[in-house]
Each structure stands twice: as C-alpha cells, then as structure tokens.
Structure 1
Amino acid sequence: MADTTVLRDGLHFGEGPRRGPDGRLYYSDFYAGEVHALDLATGDDELVVAFDGQPSGLGWLPDGRLLVVSMLDRTVRRLEDGELVLHADISDIATFHANDMLVDGEGRAYVGNFGFDLHGLIDEVGLPRLLEPDFAPEGASLALVQPDGSVSVAVEDLKFPNGMALLPDPAGESESGTTLVVAETVAFKLTAFSVDLDGSLRGRRVWADVKELGIAPDGIAGDGDGVWVAPALQPAVFRVTEGGEVTHRVETTQTCFAVAVVGDKLVCLTAPDSHPNVVKPERLGKIEVYELS
C-alpha cells in the first residue's frame, strides 16, 4: 500500500519538480511540451508555458526569470514575457538529450544529459544488461551555464548525469561551503563534488553506491545532510545519507522518477515506465505527496 496521496494525475511523464519563488511546485510534462505550477495546498494547477519541444529541468535566475531545459535541441530556454527564448546552447557538450538541471543562488545552471540513447539501448539489449557488472556505458559531461548564457564543461565522464542537489559542506573542503551531489543513473551511484566560489567543481568522490539497493538514481532532492532519491526502478523513494545508509523509504503507487521537497511535503513524480513508447501515448503520470512532518 502506498504511503503517498495522489494530488494530480493525467500527466504523460512529469520531470524537473522544483519549489518556485512563489512557493508553488513547478514541473515539466515531457510529452505535453508544458511547464506547470501547482499549488500543493489547494491543488490548483496553472499552465505556465507550452512550446514545441520537450521540457525537463527547471530553475530560476536571481531576478526570478524561469529557466527550462529543452531536451531534444539540447538548449536552456528563458521565459521572457510569456515566451521561451534561447538562454544557452549546450549541444557542443551534451552528446544526447539534455535532461535535469540545478540552478544555484547565483544563477549558475548545472545541466546533465543522457550521453547515449538509453531507450534505444534498452530496446536492443534489454534492461537486465544495464545491471550486469561488465556494463560500461558511455560517459557524459555536465554543462555549467553562467547567468549570461556562456557555457563550459563542469566535469567529464559521468554515467548519465541526472538529478542534482546542493548540500552543506561541514568539512569545509569547498570554497563555497557547499557540495554538489549528482545522480549517475546508469552507474547506480551518487557522486559528490566540492563547489568553488566560481561554480567550478573539484574533489570528485563517491557519495553513495546504491546498486545493491536496486536504485538507479534519477531525480534527487536535498534534505539536511541527506538526499531523497527517486530510484527509477521501484515504486518508492528513499532518503539516503553519505555512505549509502537508507534512513527512510516511502512507497508510491507506481515507479518514482523525480522528487522535490516543498516545505513539509515530499513530492514524487511517478509513472508506470520511462520508455516513450509506454508513456507518450497515454496520460498515466501522477504527482504524489508525502507529509514529512
């Protein structure tokens, strides 16, 4: 039995949940080409913007302008007067679909990408192949987009860099006092970096290996000294601390692919599958909520 409450259904495939500056939950619906804002208290849902593309990661510049990852053309768009305009082109860095994004307080955006055709590979060799010890996926680079739209490589050779979270750095190893944790989906681990004042990353290290838990980490959300992890292979969400200890497990009605912490609520975006052949023709995606307090 699920621990969550379904707040909204009828999505194709929800992604990129973030608490917006106005306190609402913002999220993308891949195959509807839409970004929405949902009031978790009332259930009111507003269409923020729609475009002829596939939106994913979301974030905001310090002045409140919304940034949206456009997956298929591997760009970051910026919402200006109701229209999405080009903010940054990361196609020289992203080797396949752009995906999740984290925007820090300075307006710097870290943007991941698939690195290879995941669903094409699954069609060819089957999902179990990805779980075998000798599976060696192609690496991908994490893009760093400055507030002015200039682009550079933040770090190379990540295995499907996906969800990200900024955590405090109590050891003081970073100039900024923060640690960036990145979900490497097909490496089945969370990788951490110290963040310097200019946003550059260093000190790469394994933060948590979660393969034995059956977790292919997709979206993640920071929560104190831990992260909530959407496992992409299970109808659940896990709170994990450094070293891989699971402190909490929350059951969802179907597989969880993305998470966000909004106030005292854990928000889980779920779907029966991630394969476009399954979720694109239907509207089976849900937004599920779990009370943290």
Structure 2
Amino acid sequence: MTLSVRTIAGGFVYPECPRWHDGQLWFADQHDGLVHVLDAAGIRCDSFAVPGGPSGMGWLPDGDLLVVSMNDRKLFRRLGDGKLVLHADLAGVHPFHSNDMVVDGEGRAYVGNIGFDFYAGQPPAPTVLAAVAPDGSISVAADDLMCPNGAVISPDGRTLVIAESMAARLTAFDMSADGSLSNRRLFAAIDGHVPDGICLDSEGHIWAASPYEKMVLRISPAGEIVERVVIPDANPYACMLGGADGRDLYICIAPHHDPEMTVKLRGGRIDVVRAPASGAGRP
C-alpha cells in the first residue's frame, strides 16, 4: 500500500514527542525550547517555553500536563494557569539527558533517558526507565535498557512497549495494578533501524519512526514490518495518530538531529499521512 504524505506545518527547529490531546496536536520543539499546539490542519493555537528543552509529554487525571525537561533532567507539571512547577528531579536516576515518556491512567509517568553523551560520541551504555508516581516520588521501573525512548501503553493498561533505540528493538512489559513492570520480552527486533518515537493503533500495530532510514514503520503484533512510510528528504523522529477519526498519522521531521545545525536550518516540519487504523492506548 502506498501512503501519500503531505506537510501541514513547518519552520520548526527539531519537532519531537507528538501527542494528540483534546482535538489538538501537541509536540516538543526540543532544540528551540518550546512546546507547540496545532489544530488538525496545522494552524498554531499555542506555544510555551520549557526550561532545558521539552521532550516527552502526558496528562495527569486532573488535566495538568507533565512535560520532560531534557537537558535539566526534570519533570515539570504545567498548571491550569500555565505556570510550570517541578514535579520530579530525575538527575539521581538518569545519567544523561532525559527523553520521551508515557503517562498511564493513574498519572504514573515512565520516563526514558539517553544514558550516554550521544553528541560527544560516547559509546551506548545501558540505563534505566524511571517511574514517577503521581506524588512525584521516583523509582526505577526497569534497568539494562539501551536508550529507552518512545513508549506506549495498551488500551487495557496491562502492557507497556518501549523502543530501545540503541538495540534496534521494541521491548514489552506486563504492567501490574501498582504500576510495576514484569515479564520483560521482545515485541519486535527491527535490525537496521534505530526506533525513536512510537505510537499504537487499534489493531495492535505499533508505528515507529526510523530516522536514519528515513521512514516510519508499521509493526504488527507478531513483530513484522507490514507498512513503510518513506520520507526521502529528511529524518522522521516521532509519530502520533490523531485527527477527527484517529487515522491521521502526524510525523515529526527534521533535516538533522545536531542542535546547532537544526537551529541554523530551521527545517523541522509536521507531515501527515492517512493510516489504515485509528490510534489507541497511550500516549
């Protein structure tokens, strides 16, 4: 199947971590220090700054937004009046930049991190997935992960799947009622790819951005790649299903990942493609 891609918004630095919430597309322009909110057609509705550069986002049951500060390794809570307050300081468990996250129905946040100095050329190193309770207390949900990145939670709240970017795989866990993770297992091995942001559809497939191969993959529950959306001129870093019927796949794209280069180029954009199935689960 050939999926037709179109651009709906551009002029960004490095868009990442898209979320569909209350009929709007939210995403982090990481290297510009801003969160942007667009309507379904790509018209900007709001923007706000996040110290340390925004990354993963999710909402608490009371409607407050949680947003990761990537460089500062903190998790902020955005109150109804727009004020940002510290929700959790992740520096004690994250050895390097905090990254994407997913928030469950109880308000527990599962926050990944890069685990090594990527820009300095350090070799990849195993790290942890942090769990932040609704009261802001921090624990380690899982360890020995190779750059835990985009994550999804199944609609029944019983399974978490996370992209291990530096291991070319998606890894699944069972989720208990208290939020603890167990029964670690392989969801999909995707050799030759560096999976970044991911989202889940109503047929149990996971869409995964593969930036260095310039495509977005649709991966079946059996772990097989069944669709590819090719972005020939730039790198797709994350994706999210949304729109009126949940079948618009919004893709965060930039020409490069280097902060200095992306600021100079300002070539980040949001593309959209019609997907075979609607979005499901979280984020």
Fold match by TM threshold 0.5: yes
- Is contact 2:55-2:70 (8 Å) kept? yes
- Quote the Cα distance in structure 1 between the aligned partners of 2:150 and 2:45: 24
Listed one character per residue, the Cα deviations across residues 11-36 of structure 1 (whole Å, up to 9, x for unaligned) are 1001110111x220100101211111
- Is contact 2:253-2:269 (8 Å) kept? yes
Which residue among 199, 212, 217 is the counterpart of 1:221? 199
Listed one character per residue, the Cα deviations across residues 269-289 of structure 1 (whole Å, up to 9, x for unaligned) are 011121223213321111000
- The structure-2 alpha-carbon separation of the partners of 1:280 and 1:119, relative to structure 1 and needing over 3 Å to count, comes to same
Give the Å deviation of 1:105.
Answer: 1.1
- Quote the Cα distance in structure 2 between the aligned partners of 1:202 and 1:210: 22
Identity, in percent, stands at: 45
Secondary structure at the residue paired with 2:193?
Answer: coil
Give the Å deviation of 1:194.
Answer: 0.5
Secondary structure at the residue paired with 1:180?
Answer: strand
Which residue among 254, 257, 261 is the counterpart of 1:274? 257
- Quote the Cα distance in structure 2 between the aligned partners of 1:137 and 1:98: 15
Listed one character per residue, the Cα deviations across residues 244-290 of structure 1 (whole Å, up to 9, x for unaligned) are 31111112242110010111200110111212232133211110000
Corresponding residue for residue 184 of structure 2: 204
- The structure-2 alpha-carbon separation of the partners of 1:291 and 1:23, relative to structure 1 and needing over 3 Å to count, comes to same
Runs (4+) off by over 3 Å: none
- Quote the Cα distance in structure 2 between the aligned partners of 1:265 and 1:219: 16
Give the Å deviation of 1:86.
Answer: 0.2
Give the Å deviation of 1:243.
Answer: 4.1
- Is contact 2:11-2:266 (8 Å) kept? yes
Secondary structure at the residue paired with 1:155?
Answer: strand
- Quote the Cα distance in structure 2 between the aligned partners of 1:25 and 1:177: 23
- The structure-2 alpha-carbon separation of the partners of 1:11 and 1:85, relative to structure 1 and needing over 3 Å to count, comes to same
- The structure-2 alpha-carbon separation of the partners of 1:177 and 1:166, relative to structure 1 and needing over 3 Å to count, comes to closer
- Quote the Cα distance in structure 1 between the aligned partners of 2:230 and 2:4: 5
- Quote the Cα distance in structure 2 between the aligned partners of 1:177 and 1:221: 15
RMSD (Å) for aligned C-alpha atoms: 1.7
- Is contact 1:34-1:47 (8 Å) kept? no
Listed one character per residue, the Cα deviations across residues 30-65 of structure 1 (whole Å, up to 9, x for unaligned) are 121111111013x32123421332101011001111
Question: Which amino acid is 1:245 matched to?
Answer: E
Listed one character per residue, the Cα deviations across residues 203-248 of structure 1 (whole Å, up to 9, x for unaligned) are 111111101xx21000000113110000121221110023431111
Corresponding residue for residue 89 of structure 2: 89
Corresponding residue for residue 248 of structure 2: 265
Listed one character per residue, the Cα deviations across residues 159-180 of structure 1 (whole Å, up to 9, x for unaligned) are 0000001125xxxxxxx65211
Gaps of 5+ in 2: 277-283
- Is contact 2:215-2:235 (8 Å) kept? yes
- Quote the Cα distance in structure 2 between the aligned partners of 1:249 and 1:269: 15
Corresponding residue for residue 51 of structure 1: 50
Gaps of 5+ in 1: 123-135, 169-175
Question: Which amino acid is 1:186 matched to?
Answer: M
- Quote the Cα distance in structure 2 between the aligned partners of 1:198 and 1:36: 33
Pair 1:142 & 2:153 matched: no
Corresponding residue for residue 147 of structure 2: 160
- Quote the Cα distance in structure 2 between the aligned partners of 1:228 and 1:206: 16
Give the Å deviation of 1:104.
Answer: 1.0
How many residues were matched structurally? 269
- Quote the Cα distance in structure 1 between the aligned partners of 2:178 and 2:250: 31
- Is contact 2:50-2:69 (8 Å) kept? no
Equivalent residue runs for 1:76-115 within 5 Å: 76-80=75-79, 81-115=81-115
Question: Which amino acid is 2:251 matched to?
Answer: C
TM-score between the two structures when normalised by the length of structure 2: 0.90
Corresponding residue for residue 16 of structure 2: 15
Secondary structure at the residue paired with 1:279?
Answer: helix
